[in-house]
Structure 1
């Protein structure tokens, strides 16, 4: 609380608190819903569902065209906002439609029609995830309370959908259809409440100049996102290949539980993004904002890591049952991952806002190289436990090594590493 008080913008604080409350509620509900689906489908079918979603996840940085990060950087400059928003939304819809379909032939190597149909349904769901571009606009306006209201209703709708599907014994496809309905609701709702865009804007011609400007910001982020998704999802594909769908279900259940803890991170990052640019403020104020931001990220990462290790294994056993006991055991190896996901996400926003996309590419490439190399060695021998160790090492290394050893970002990353130090790491460079 003391660090939040340093930010004088009450709208920003209210935005953050509203989202945090909904995230806590949503996280609890999603854990219950996930366990219900896991028990209903069983590990084999759940593994098929996770496999399809992992493929979509790997393709997501390409299909989204890096628009989310590019738009975040563009809005911080407050130039031609409406045109940037319109162009970003249309481009993301087009990308999310075409890219997954282009990769559909690769899924056909699976002789299972069930997997193929799940993939095509997931492609439709991926299109409606374009609502993330609208969220960027609302975050920039510090309107997190509006996002929280939409998300709150979405959580309740998802709960009702799942309960109905389980009660009526629906097939596995129904659970992807539910995600399509939920994502389409969020897309339409956010589009209606955002004052800077509307359905009519989607029909207007695009500006070539704006498109090129957006791609200039987003192009490096496509590579960053793809590299990150590869080293966070490739282990899931390798586990499926080596051990089958059931072990994929155990591993993904564990890492999904970790990700649900870390959903609070983007709330902090996106809400404070507009405070992390040195434009329009003094150097002293800028450094102060960055230091407090790093402290919040460090405290959040440490707290969530402890919560994850202490409570999540028992919670998984309680909710998922004995069939998923491997998921409860592997979660202990994700302790460093939880912390790294939070501070890594925080530093990623700072790097993007301040134009250091080259550093983002280098550290993502380092993380991917380490994770893939370790996966090749550890997964065949230690299965899901080897994958968890690989992921943790790769996350920690990618967050700090490149940033600390690069002169233009060294001050920031030392501040992120030692946020409570009395030393001013920004004394020479902001």
Structure 2
């Protein structure tokens, strides 16, 4: 199937994107469907407990990744003969960090639970198990290797095989009526089989992880390079997950209802990443050869993302209650209002994803960090104010405003202001109307 031509972008690049991301989209849809079954089965209280644990662990997992992926790829491309040293050193750094994160996650939860006197039973064991599931993500260094060789299709295939096995297991847990802890154990199983799958596919390509070595000098070099990205990754995780963690003070049910809405709203966030990734090489090439064409392509990208978001946002805003009732029956009363607000965060996430590539291309990494930090701070401050008054609706409003602040933070920086203006023109369809009037 041919993808329709989009002005300003290479049709072949988009057709390649469509072909290479078919399995990725299948995996995302499958995860969404299984997630809906789990939410309906657990109900808002237990579903809230599960999402609270996942969000708390996700913030710590941002530290565990050590921001190494980009540097692993770069180092392997630069020194292919030192592949075993680079991968081995990266793996050991992650294993040690993620292992330490397990007791830390449990301790943080225990302290916060006692201080806040959150309602409900302690979730210490669940948090520890979810941190263990995150521990197995240390083996994602193998994914970074395949990315460096432009062979990500092997990883996507492994991921989807694991997703299918995981889906079967979780559906059986639901069918047998087993308690929440078994779903948590299934998530640990997810991490384990994905790690095993990555090791198997790596060995099938004729390599062996037993050849990997640890080098202390390499470790220091990698950590020195990635240290700014660790803090940035933590800020991104706080920015995306802190609302769920802070909602726990209101109760598990509030977390569950909000998570039901947020999971639907965020289900398609992989789309802008895939689109932006597919056109990024063309943008970089244009920047080298024709700066005017480079800016034009950026504008076209912003327009495209707005064209995707606006119809979806309008449709879901008017049908949010019906969608929640259809997917969750009457178990998540009030999630419709949250969804109708939260869905509009997507348009700013899309624009933020595209403008982040611009910041990377121009070397404005500090600006990228500052914008994320601004979003995180705004989200926390608004949550402190709005969650006690409006619970999940307050968290939805906080997330939307934080996304707006983060995306358009670049307006306040003189060297990036023009990009902010371009995004505003796309957002308010100014460039669209200009193109119509020129015809």
TM over 0.5: yes
Q: Counterparts of 1:89 and 1:164 in 2: how far apart (Å)?
A: 33
Aligned to 2:22: 21
In the TM superposition, 1:342-381 aligns within 5 A as 342-352=350-360, 354-381=362-389
Deviation at 1:291, TM superposition (A): 4.8
Q: Counterparts of 1:119 and 1:193 in 2: how far apart (Å)?
A: 30
Aligned-residue Cα RMSD (Å) equals 3.4
Which of the numbers 137, 156, 171 marks the counterpart of 2:179? 171
Aligned to 1:267: 274
TM-score, normalised by the number of residues in structure 1: 0.83
Aligned to 2:39: 38
TM-score, normalised by the number of residues in structure 2: 0.82
Which of the numbers 396, 406, 417 marks the counterpart of 2:404? 396
Deviation at 1:281, TM superposition (A): 4.2
Which of the numbers 309, 313, 326 marks the counterpart of 2:334? 326
Is it true that 1:408 corresponds to 2:415 in the alignment? yes
Aligned to 1:257: 264
Which of the numbers 214, 225, 228 marks the counterpart of 2:222? 214
SS in 1 for 2:177: coil
Deviation at 1:150, TM superposition (A): 2.6
Aligned residues: 416
Aligned to 2:63: 62
Q: Is the 8 A contact 1:336 1:396 kept in 2?
A: no
User: Relative to 1, partners in 2 of residues 1:294 and 1:95: Cα closer, same or farther, differing over 3 Å?
Assistant: farther
Q: Is the 8 A contact 1:20 1:264 kept in 2?
A: no
Aligned to 1:428: none
Q: Deviations over 1:354-412 (max 9, x none)?
A: 432211221112112222221122111111111111110110111112x2232333344
Q: Counterparts of 2:226 and 2:349 in 1: how far apart (Å)?
A: 21
Q: Counterparts of 1:223 and 1:108 in 2: how far apart (Å)?
A: 24
User: Relative to 1, partners in 2 of residues 1:85 and 1:281: Cα closer, same or farther, differing over 3 Å?
Assistant: farther
Q: Counterparts of 1:70 and 1:331 in 2: how far apart (Å)?
A: 37
Deviation at 1:183, TM superposition (A): 2.6
Q: Which runs of 5+ in 1 are unaligned?
A: 424-430
Deviation at 1:249, TM superposition (A): 0.5
For structure 1, which segment, 109-118 or 99-108, has the greater mean C-alpha deviation from structure 2 after superposition?
109-118
Q: Is the 8 A contact 2:199 2:209 kept in 1?
A: no
Which of the numbers 252, 257, 263 marks the counterpart of 1:245? 252
Larger Rg: 2
For structure 1, which segment, 222-231 or 246-255, has the greater mean C-alpha deviation from structure 2 after superposition?
222-231
Q: Counterparts of 1:297 and 1:71 in 2: how far apart (Å)?
A: 30
Q: Deviations over 1:175-203 (max 9, x none)?
A: 12222222333333334445999542674
